[in-house]
Structure 1
């Protein structure tokens, strides 16, 4: 009887030991799986360091400048985008490059340096980029491209490209190996169909998809290189307005916004002359997407280039054509398409300028 009890005791001890060993094995597997998951997360280039998004800005700054070759003043919305990111606590600007577009690259470079000197808490290095569209017969780099490449070699970055995508296109041609370091490129361009007109005011003026129209090749390069792209087109910016009372309110916030709101006066007057009550701050929708993507409503679409009649030519009798950047359900490269904003967006937007 004693031997039987002893045998049962030994069996029980063995079973407990086996169970503990199996549990320890399971725990080890779980720990390894968790460690692997953490390692995988670290390998993913999310461009976020200590909760701060690492960003490079490429812009055709034109605040306060008169148009070249035509009457009136150039766009001011790129200034709002840059200052919005400067004031965002969850964004670090790793560099600011300039490009031709709304005005000359020389003017853009001068404005970029002025913003950095006068309004940046920590001075941001500014680099001059392309002054013309990409010429595939003679691909030439520039200071902006080289600086962007150097920054990407150090860490993954989100690129805000709110002018022609020329500098980013040149970057991918010269340094294709850095494609994996680009978290995403956020751009202001695109539409769903060629009949989605960019209407300015109510007097029949149709605007170009300027950033795309000025350098189709650059956008083609981005699409063909499978870079993660976010498009903030006229469709979304047309739903957001900056009016005279907004400018007056901004003048009493920060020195930077006072400067920008004052420089915006000739611009808003041009829009009023076209029958509008204010202006659409196109580039701000792109910068706001970087700061708070939850405020921007998006959908996955596919983008492609397609030739159609030029919608900006009046009485176009089948003679003038242009390329369009179209975003639809199929037939192109995968992109994120921004098309609307959340309720009370205007209030959210104004608060970002007051910080």
Structure 2
């Protein structure tokens, strides 16, 4: 009996080590602001999902836009949801004008990590930190496997969630379009997964209700933040379905591409056109990050344009369970549902 127990423990240890070795190394660069008055919650959802995923090894987290608040809330979420090795968190750019920055801890830490590992960067906010790193250390560009970014659209596409009457900005891009141009010109692989593939995935009050009675303090805190965000969406843009967790779809384009559809190697350009989101800017024109097969140019990206509705259950499985089902188990559940 003792021999069998030892053998089982050895097998479990071996399996755990294999999962760690097979996990994809990722760096998360985020403007996380969940819990901050009036700020979105999807960065927080994506981070929680990433922390629970056995398919990812998070090498580090860098913060952009409001790094001081981001640092506090990220440490809070790590305390509740990180069951693995300690993950370092670094403060980055606070302004969208990267020309005023010469050095910050996020840029230096990201560069040092790339010297040690090839890895994917999951970009959930403006790409100011990443662009600054590429400017300072262009020799590290080949070490980046892919930049998976929540930004971009096709021509003439409106970002109009909820009742469709209010156009919102492509904020992660519009906050720092110069940084986006640096990324595009660097030659790194880029995948865009933003509004279009997320536009049919809404989380409702019913969906998040189980979090309210969870034994996990973090889940109960999360429920409060998501509930507030539901109210903001209902009042500001007339959304009766709930809210769209954009960054959770961006994450899904990397770890569960089987739920997604995309255009591969599609030309990408930045254009200045008539402003379609007056609530965010009073300027007559604004920059757009666009993809189209009709564009001429050598810069190309992968662009995700659709997500199967079943992916919503994948998000909920990650949020509502301490240990989400494995990739294989979720696939079988999906097959059974269909």
Match of 1:280 among 240, 244, 247: 244
Q: CA deviation at 1:204?
A: 2.1
**How much does 1:259 deviate?**
2.4
Match of 1:320 among 259, 277, 284: 284
- Counterpart selection for 2:143 from 181, 186, 190: 181
**Partners of 2:219 and 2:102 in 1: CA distance:** 36
How far, CA to CA, are the matches of 1:196 and 1:236 in structure 2?
12
Aligned length: 295
Question: Are 1:200 and 1:271, in contact at CA under 8 Å, matched by a contact in 2?
Answer: no
Q: Which of 91, 96, 114 is matched with 2:61 structurally?
A: 96
Q: Distance in 1 between matches of 2:197 and 2:256?
A: 15
Partner of 1:61: 32
- Which consecutive segments of 4 or more residues in structure 1 shift more than 6 A? none
- Extract unaligned runs of 5+ from structure 2: 1-18, 325-338
Structure 1 match to 2:308: 342
Residue deviations 1:144-179 (CA, integer Å, cap 9, x gap): 010101100001011001000000000100110000
| 8 Å Cα contact 1:56/1:96 also seen in 2 | yes
After TM superposition, the score normalised by the length of structure 1 is 0.79
What is the CA-CA distance between 1:255 and the residue it aligns to? 4.2
**What residue number does 1:162 align with?**
124
Instruction: Output the CA distance in 2 between the equivalents of 1:91 and 1:203.
Output: 35
Please tell me whether residue 82 in structure 1 is matched to residue 15 in structure 2: no
Q: CA deviation at 1:252?
A: 4.7
Contact (CA 8 Å) 2:131, 2:182: kept in 1 or not? yes
Q: Which runs of 5+ in 1 are unaligned?
A: 1-47, 67-72
Over the aligned positions, Cα root-mean-square deviation in angstroms equals: 2.0
For 1:173 and 1:182, how far apart are their aligned partners in 2? 14
1:229 aligns with 190
Of 264, 285, 297 in structure 1, the residue corresponding to residue 226 of structure 2 is: 264
Deviates more, 1:195-204 or 1:122-131: 195-204
CA distance in 2, matches of 1:252, 1:298: 38
CA drift of 1:302 comes to 1.4
Would the alpha carbon gap of residues 206 and 166 (structure 1) be closer, same or farther in structure 2, given more than 3 Å must change? same
Question: 2: distance between equivalents of 1:324 and 1:105?
Answer: 26
Q: Is the Cα–Cα contact under 8 Å of residues 156 and 182 in structure 1 kept in the other structure? A: yes
What does the per-residue CA deviation read over 1:8-60, in whole Å, with 9 as the maximum and x for residues that have no partner? xxxxxxxxxxxxxxxxxxxxxxxxxxxxxxxxxxxxxxxx9732100110111
Paired with 1:188 and 1:261, the residues of 2 have a C-alpha distance of 23
**C-alpha distance in 1 between matches for 2:134 and 2:112:** 13
SS at match of 1:205: coil
Counterparts of 1:16-165 in structure 2, within 5 Å, are 50-66=21-37, 73-100=38-65, 104-121=66-83, 122-136=85-99, 138-165=100-127
Q: What are the residue-to-residue correspondences of 1:281-300 with 2, within 5 Å?
A: 281-300=245-264
> Residues 343 and 278 (structure 1 numbering): CA distance in 2 closer, same or farther, change over 3 Å?
closer
Range moving further from structure 2, 156-165 or 117-126: 117-126
Q: TM-score, normalised by structure 2?
A: 0.83
Distance 1:338 1:250, change over 3 A: farther
Distance in 2 (alpha carbons) for counterparts of 1:161 and 1:251: 29
> Is structure 2 residue 314 aligned with structure 1 residue 351?
no
> Do the aligned partners of 1:117 and 1:123 also contact (CA within 8 Å) in 2?
no
**Deviation of the 1:257 alpha carbon:** 3.3
Partner of 2:165: 204
Alpha carbons of structure 1 residues 323 and 97: separation in structure 2 relative to 1, 3 Å: same
Instruction: Out of 343-352 and 266-275, give the one that drifted further.
Output: 343-352
Which residue of 2 is the match for residue 35 of structure 1? none
Q: Offset of 1:141 from its aligned partner?
A: 2.0
CA contact (8 A) 1:55 1:91 kept: yes
